[in-house]
Each structure stands twice: as structure tokens, then as C-alpha cells.
Homo-oligomer: A and B are copies of this chain.
Amino acid sequence: MTTPRAELPRPPTLDEVAVAAGVSRATVSRVINDVPTVDPRLRAVVERAIQETGYVPNLAARSLVTRRTDSVALVISEPPNHREYAATFLNRVFTDPYFGRITAGAQEVLRSDGIHLVIIPADPPAHDQVLRYLRQGHVDGVLLISSHAADPFPGQLAEMGVVTVLSARPGRPVPLSYVDVDQPAGVALAADHLVSRGRRRLATIAGPQDMPAGQGRLSAFRDALARHGLPAPPVVEGDFTRASGEAAARALIAEHPRIDGLFVANDLMAEGAVRALQEAGRDVPGDVSVVGFDDSSAALEAHPQLTTVRQPVEEMAAEMARLLLAGLREPHRSPRTVIFNPTLVVRDSS
């Protein structure tokens, strides 16, 4: 609309291939779409014509009638009310291994179905534009990573009738399928482990409390400690980045120097926390045991390597993709929920 665009030599059309092969347009179309009712000899002729002309189907024309594009979007959403946080949005996305795992898992199953995956970061300034992109029909459906409770994106997509699958339980109930990990169970694994290591003076670095994941892991940790008869732990909130984990740990030991066990709501923050503890002269795990969450590549890059709660992120993303494909096949399917079990991976930080 905005950009005028001059003409290029136009690519060959179905008609030209048909003429070259001496058949009708319909037949060429059948060959391209692998319709079985085509004489093998004719098929060969047509295929040669396609080669010779260098024909490539025009997506717009095709999807105008089929109403499909054979591609889906992985949208990473940031809600509009997180200004300062949003400034570093893209840096966060391209710094947290989580998103790569999601992509890998989804790619895997989509690929085998011949569906393309495109990634769209949707920070606040792009919000409307992304919404427009999605409803215009560039893609058949969307995998939505929305981590903030107040994010309107899930609701909007649901309302617009865009087939969508979420990566976690939405902050507000929304009629969309989602995949999640059993957060309380995972956190309990971490808490039980710290206790079993003899740790009693526990603390936690929580995620942002406006994210279900941040909020859920914190309250689950409190619950777990209560079950063990332990007091409510000191809490410092981070934002799931390594730097915030570092700062949080510093704050924590300044305030509570005798801490001997630390549960951190994700591995990236845990990696930072370990570093801060060490710089403060604490040995990990000698003086304090640290347990992370995710089992991302950050857990392996930490020194010592992190004990952590493993989320099967790749499998979860694969399930998201499968749910999406199913949703595309049956549009009136009711939303489903799939919950995965976390496991504890014990390494050297505890």
C-alpha cells in the first residue's frame, strides 16, 4: 500500500505451463497437487514443462481458493503495559534459550506436515501490526507464547477466530488450547530436594509476579516449605534474565547472609545467582545449594552446573504444534489442555 513497486519480468503461470505441455490448466494443477487421476505419460510431459518453464505456483492465487497458506506463526508476545521491560524485549528473546527450544520442538512436527513456521516478536509498539498480520490470513494459525497475565493477545486472537494454541495457562480464562507443565509438582521437586540435602534456611528468587509462571512458582514454593514445616522464605523478584538473577542474589545475601538453600524460578537467573554467590564468597554447593528451573542450556553453562527442574520444552512445543494442526483440521474442536510432568535433574549446584 505504501511502497510503490515496479514490475519485474513476471514469473510463468499455470497457463503457460499448460500451453508448453499441450494440456489444460486443470491438468497441470492436478499434476502439481499430486491428484492421482492423471495419466502417467501426461504427468511426465507436464513435469518436464514445469522444469523447463521454471514454474512456481503463486501462493496468493492458490490460497485465495484453498484458504490455506500452509504456514503458521510463532508469536512471542509482550503485553502493552510493560514499557521499561519492553525496551529490552528483543534482547531478552534472543538471549533466553527457552525460545530456541520452543522453536525447535514446533519446527520438528510442522516440518513433517509441510507447514512453514515463521517467528514474530510482538512487543507493544508492533502489537496492532502483528494482530493485523495474523487476521489478514498470512498464516493458518498461531502458536502463542504469552507469559503475562494481563496480555490481551490471547483473548483477541480467540475473539477473531484465529486458530491458536498457547504455551501456558492464560492469565484470564480464554477458549484456547494450551500446553503447560505441572508447575506445583516441579517446584515441589526442587523444594523436597533442597530439604533432603539438609537445607533449612531457604530463600527464593521469583519471576515477575505479573506472569503466571512467576507467580505460580513462588506460591508453590511457599506451599512446599509449609508442608515441610519450614518458615516462609525470603523472596526477591527478578525478571527471568541472568542479570536480574545476579542482582537478586546479591540483595538476598545482603539481607539474609545465612541462607543455605536457594530456589530460583529459572535457570538463567540461577546462573546469575550462582555467580553473585561466588563473588560474595559463598561456595556453591558447599555453603548454599542452588536449584533452578527449566533445564535449559544455561544450566549447563553455569559453574557448577545447575541442579534444576526439567521442563520438557521441546516436547511441549511439539504438542502445541500437534494441537494446532488438529485445530486446523477441525475448526470446531473444543479447546484442550495438556499438562506435562517435570522432573528433577540433579547436577553440581546442590
Contacts and interface: CB of A to CB of B under 8 A. Distances in A.
Interface of A: 1-9, 33-34, 56-64, 67-71, 73, 90-101, 103-104, 107, 111, 113-121, 125-126, 129-130, 133, 135-138, 140, 161, 242-243, 275, 279, 297, 301, 303, 325, 328-332
6 contacts: A1-B70, A3-B115, A93-B94, A111-B129, A117-B120, A118-B120
Tell me how many chains of this kind the complex includes: 2
A104 B120 contact: no
Nearest to A125: B111
Contacts of A126: 107, 111
A94 B97 contact: yes
A116 B133 contact: yes
A330 to B, nearest CB: 6
B99 A94 contact: yes
Given A3-B328, A73-B118, A119-B120, 13 more contacts: A3-B70, A5-B140, A7-B331, A58-B64, A59-B138, A60-B63, A69-B138, A90-B107, A94-B94, A94-B101, A114-B129, A117-B120, A242-B301
A325 B57 contact: no
Chain B CB within 10 A, most for which of A9, A33, A107: A107
A32 to B, nearest CB: 9
Chain B CB within 10 A, most for which of A9, A58, A111, A332: A58
Contacts of A116: 120, 129-130, 133, 138
A252 B232 CA distance: 48
